[in-house]
Structure 1
């Protein structure tokens, strides 16, 4: 995996939530998702009731996250995005545990999870002030 993709995946591993983007019936959409990183893949947990998983599975998606609202004073701001093929995923017990507790409701409906896997093929990383690059110099 090239260094931009590695850095993007490394930064995604530092966050819990992000946004998945793809299109449904030729219209773009953006949906929130809980994620974890496992073996270089980004695993997503979405609410089944929204139906977004049907448009994502089998398609190329973009997945992104940032630290814009969580950076501590003096910490570099960053935003990352990975693009790759998305597939349905059956999580292991360990992966399910890593996702943490599920919400009770989404949009007033009981939460039922659906899991997807994104295999990054392309990644972008944007940061402010260059501090991020110095912090991750060890990544080839």
Structure 2
């Protein structure tokens, strides 16, 4: 049994507190809970930002999203070309409540990282996206659908509000 004087890096992963462990050493239950919370929060917003790279340069695009069976489905405008950079790649997708939080409400942001693939949503899933814009950048809107299976997630909040609000998940 390690003593308090023993450095944390000499303790086994089970002996270290959750806060001391690198993200890759979290238990499957801890990762699962983090991913559940991340997907729950994404489901509370309508739009987010997808990050990937094009020719080794960072790229950020907007998307409408829905959550279906712990998978994040995106609807993006075809004319912007975002889908070419995302499909078949690992992407990050994030959203937050920074512009929608009421006074006194905790702020949060969430990001998932996962492999992104083209998808063909069902009619019911298309309905969940709601009405599409008529135009994007002056051109008629034509949707492209992508899916992300979260493999990694981060959630940040102010004032411990998420811990109180989502105790049923945590």
SS in 2 for 1:119: strand
Counterpart of 2:21 in structure 1 is none
Two-structure CA RMSD over aligned residues (Å):
0.9
Deviations 1:66-110 (A, max 9, x none): 000001122110000000000001000010000000001101111
Counterpart of 2:74 in structure 1 is 44
2:62 maps to 1:32: yes
Taking the aligned partners of 2:115 and 2:36, their CA distance within structure 1 comes to 16
Instruction: List 4+ stretches of structure 1 deviating above 3 A.
Output: none
Q: Alignment length, in residue pairs? A: 140
SS in 2 for 1:2: helix
Matches within 5 A, 1:80-119: 80-119=110-149
5+ long unaligned stretches in structure 1:
none
Pick the structure with greater CA Rg: 2
- Kindly indicate whether structure 1 or structure 2 has the higher relative contact order, using CA contacts under 8 Å at least 6 residues apart: 1
Higher fraction of helix = 2
TM-score w.r.t. structure 1 length?
0.97
1:53 to 63, 68, 83: 83
5+ long unaligned stretches in structure 2:
1-30
Higher fraction of strand = 1
Counterpart of 1:20 in structure 2 is 50
TM-score w.r.t. structure 2 length?
0.80
Counterpart of 1:130 in structure 2 is 160
